[in-house]
């Protein structure tokens, strides 16, 4: 379901005039979400150490980007 929803949103976003990329952040230990973003083509461009703190514990965040012009050229959406 998550993948279907994201594919649909990316399809809508890719038709917006002037929008070239989508950026997101994911907690670095969230393997399920990272696999999902990998499968949709989101590429890692950075990791922010100790980006979040919950209950006294720190978590890194991974920053990712999907370049829509490349997606469009691939004709995938
Ligand atoms: C991450 C999340 C949105 C995925 O949604 P989902 O409906 O479970 O995912 P789907 O069934 O559409 O699967 C999409 C992909 O996610 C990955 N995935 C899903 N469940 C997985 C699991 N248990 N283990 C590893 N990867 C998994 C796979 O890559 C899968 O693609 P594939 O079936 O082609 O291999 C969902 O698990 C969720 O809501 N998690 C809690 C909130 C969260 O982590 N949000 C992300 C914040 S950045």
Burial readout 47-56 (b: 16 or more C-beta within 10 A, e: otherwise): eeeeeeeeee
* Rounded Cα–Cα distance for residues 37 and 31 (Å): 10
The model carries a pTM of: 0.87
Give the pLDDT of residue 71.
60
- The pLDDT of 47-68, averaged and rounded, is 97
What φ, ψ does residue 18 adopt, rounded to 5°? 90, -10
**Nearest residue CA, atom 47 of ligand 1?**
26
- Does domain 2-74 fall under CATH 1.20.1560.10? My reply is no
In the chain, where the domains are located: 2-74
**What are the angstrom distances between the C-alpha of 14 and each of 24, 56, 76?**
15, 39, 11
Return mean pLDDT, the chain. Answer: 92
Give the pLDDT of residue 22.
97
- The pLDDT of 2-19, averaged and rounded, is 94
Ligand 1 midpoint to CA 76 (Å): 20
**Nearest residue CA, atom 11 of ligand 1?**
1
- The pLDDT of 26-41, averaged and rounded, is 97
**Nearest residue CA, atom 20 of ligand 1?**
32
């Amino acid at each position: 379901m998550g993948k279907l929803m994201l594919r649909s949103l990316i399809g809508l976003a890719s038709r917006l005039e002037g929008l070239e990329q989508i950026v997101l952040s994911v907690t670095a230990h969230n393997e399920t979400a990272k696999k999902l973003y990998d499968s949709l083509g989101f590429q890692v461009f950075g990791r922010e150490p100790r980006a979040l703190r919950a209950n006294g514990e720190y978590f890194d965040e991974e920053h990712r980007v999907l370049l829509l012009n490349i997606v469009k050229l691939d004709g995938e959406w």
